[in-house]
Amino acid sequence: MFVSGLALSGLGLFAHGACAADIPLYPTGPAEDASFVRFVDGGAKPVEVTAAESKARLTLDAAQPATRFFPIAARKPIAGTLTRGGAHQDVSATVLPGEFVSIVALDGADGADKGTGKGGDKGSDKGGALHVVTIREKPDDFNALKASVAFYNLDARCAAPTLKVPGRDIVLLDGVSVGQTKRRSVNPVALSVQLVCGGQSAGEPLNLGTLVAGQRYTVFLVPAGAHSRIFFANDAVNP
């Protein structure tokens, strides 16, 4: 996220899918201490991410909702501001070695308990139209022959959220409490998922495309007005 002296070199257009191009918002820490942060727009409108001191910035929207994971130095606080329309929220986090942190901007006060995720950090909500949740994960399931899919539950209104394979009675992921995550390894095949809330299908199936062996993916469950929706991102790490 954000420390002083951030370079704007490399600022560019988003790459294909849900990953951002190289955007060095903050310096990389030593490899042995590397931690990782990404930013995600889980709301209905674009959100701008601004570095606290350098003012380097990037914009996320529904077409490109997530950055790649940026490697940063572990245990060093990072801070900045997320802005959507006239609402903004200051955010900060300290990331542990090997930890992957997703900072997700949601609409209003919907979704998970305000300002917290799995080991979440709190920010100052200004304007009531922007709600930020921090989700922490420390994956240990790497398998070069399998793909890995996570389910992040950020919507308290979806009862017993479940991801199923559409057209087949196969549960991919379930039992994920609000503000929590769950991950599993799957075969690297073409995959679609159907969100189920309270035993009923919610929305249309989401096509994840053909998964790649050795890569990780995340399906986000977020509030969408009176309903729930899911979208996904490739958990790629910025080089």
Q: What secondary structure, in 3-state letters, does 71-136 show?
A: EEECCCCEEEEEEECCEEEEEEECCCCCCEEEEEEEECCCCCCCCCCCCCCCCEEECCCEEEEEEE
For 22, how many CA atoms within 13 A lie in the half-sphere containing its CB?
7
Q: Is 90 or 109 the better-scoring residue by pLDDT? A: 90
- The residue among 109, 42, 54 whose CA lies nearest residue 81 is 54
3-class DSSP assignment, residue 24: coil
Q: Report the pLDDT value the prediction gives residue 122, as an integer from 0 to 100.
A: 40
Q: Report the pLDDT value the prediction gives residue 22, as an integer from 0 to 100.
A: 43
Q: Is 27 or 1 the better-scoring residue by pLDDT? A: 27
In a domain? residue 36: yes
Same domain membership, residue 123 and residue 38: yes
Same domain membership, residue 153 and residue 58: no
CATH assignment at residue 176: 2.60.40
Same domain membership, residue 68 and residue 93: yes
Same domain membership, residue 210 and residue 118: no
Same domain membership, residue 189 and residue 115: no
Question: What is the pLDDT averaged over residues 132-151?
Answer: 92
Same domain membership, residue 157 and residue 116: no
Same domain membership, residue 131 and residue 165: no
For the cut 90, the answer to whether the pLDDT of residue 214 exceeds it is yes
Same domain membership, residue 92 and residue 169: no
Q: Report the pLDDT value the prediction gives residue 109, as an integer from 0 to 100.
A: 61
At 136, the pLDDT band (50, 70, 90 cuts) reads very high
Same domain membership, residue 160 and residue 127: no
In a domain? residue 214: yes
- The residue among 55, 65, 56 whose CA lies nearest residue 14 is 65
At 222, the pLDDT band (50, 70, 90 cuts) reads very high
User: Domain ends where: 92, 109, 137?
Assistant: 137
Residue 121: give the domain boundaries.
31-137
pLDDT digits (tens, 9 = 90+) for 41-54: 999 999 999 978 77
Q: What is the DSSP letter of 237?
A: B
In a domain? residue 25: no
Determine what percent of the chain is predicted with pLDDT higher than 70. 77
Question: What is the pLDDT averaged over residues 133-143?
Answer: 89
In a domain? residue 189: yes
In a domain? residue 156: yes
Same domain membership, residue 95 and residue 46: yes
User: Domain ends where: 91, 111, 137?
Assistant: 137
From CA 123, how far away is CA 78, in angstroms rounded? 12
Same domain membership, residue 131 and residue 152: no
In a domain? residue 104: yes
Same domain membership, residue 157 and residue 88: no
Q: Report the pLDDT value the prediction gives residue 33, as an integer from 0 to 100.
A: 62
User: Domain ends where: 85, 104, 137?
Assistant: 137
Domain count for the chain, please give it: 2
In a domain? residue 9: no
